[in-house]
Amino acid sequence: MKFYRCIFIWLFVGVSLLQVSSAAPSANIVFKADPRTELLKIMPGSKLDEFRLSPIAGLYEYAHGAEIIYISADGKFVIDGDLFQLGVEPEINLSENRRREARLALIRDWPDTQMLIFGAQGLRHTITVFTDVDCTYCRKLHSEMAKYNALGIRVRYLFFPRTGPKSDSWDKAIAVWCSNNRNETLTRSKKGERIESVKCSNPVQKSYDLGKAMGLQGTPAILTPNGDFIAGYVPPAMLIKRLESIR
């Protein structure tokens, strides 16, 4: 959440975090206009539809991509943390539910033609994996692709070179995309083979930005069909159990 801390630190220095209790007067606050319009002034670059009422009176949820924070309607207090609903079994992480929704919204219109896909269309489960050609555990995952596919898991790859633009890993991702056989070239590259550097129109920057918007910090990162993010390598047998448990 470093992005948000940078935005808010100068706004909220010296202010305590919001204390939510039955004695709080926030439920009785009356505003002459939509409070979100005032929050736009406090948060440069924000959009009206990024704010929505939280389950707590007087507190707004602000979603930027898949990152969530909470801000009081008067703009004086901010909470950087997850919001849980208690009194239910199991307790519900409302913040994570919203992140799932946001991730799925971000990926919804991304075409298969802008991904590298391993596995037939008809397999039972489809996962989207952010990968880095030089990532050790990304290579481990890819080396077991036949096992994932045999268990009914179709893998869609998006590039996320962890070292960022103008790095060797970034150039390798572009070279893979611009090759005549992307899937074969990706496999060769993940085995450590040197791939001829080629330039062409490619989705590497776009997919990298998508990963950032989802709050991605490392690779491999597995996005499941319900919007969960699984960080790191997961063996095929464990992953299929996780996918089969999704309702």
From the first residue on, what is the mean pLDDT of each consecutive set of 10 residues in the chain (247 residues)? 40 35 45 70 78 86 86 86 85 89 93 96 95 97 98 98 94 96 96 90 97 92 95 96 90
The angle at the Cα of 204, spanning 202 to 209, to the nearest 5 degrees, equals: 135
pLDDT of residue 32: 55
Residue 158: phi, psi to the nearest 5? -125, 145
147 and 37 in a common domain: no
82 and 136 in a common domain: no
pLDDT of residue 203: 97
Whole-angstrom distance, CA of residue 245 vs CA of residue 226: 11
Residues of the domain holding 52:
2-104
- Residues 215-232 as b/e (b if ≥16 CB within 10 A, e otherwise) read bbeebbbbbbeebbbbee
119 and 174 in a common domain: yes
Whole-angstrom distance, CA of residue 235 vs CA of residue 84: 30
236 and 143 in a common domain: yes
Instruction: Report, as residue numbers or ranges, the catalytic residues.
Output: 132, 135, 138, 162
Q: What is the pTM of this model?
A: 0.77
Q: Are 60 and 73 in contact (CB under 8 A)?
A: yes
pLDDT of residue 212: 94
pLDDT of residue 118: 98
Q: Quick one: which of 45, 41, 39, 44 has its CA closest to 59?
A: 39
39 and 12 in a common domain: yes
Q: Quick one: which of 194, 201, 196, 243 has its CA closest to 113?
A: 201
Instruction: Determine if residue 21 is left, alpha or beta; phi over 0 gives left, psi from -120 to 50 gives alpha, anything else beta.
Output: beta
Grouping H, G, I as helix, E, B as strand and the rest as coil, residue 168 is: helix
> On the CB side of 54, how many CA atoms lie within 13 Å of its CA?
28
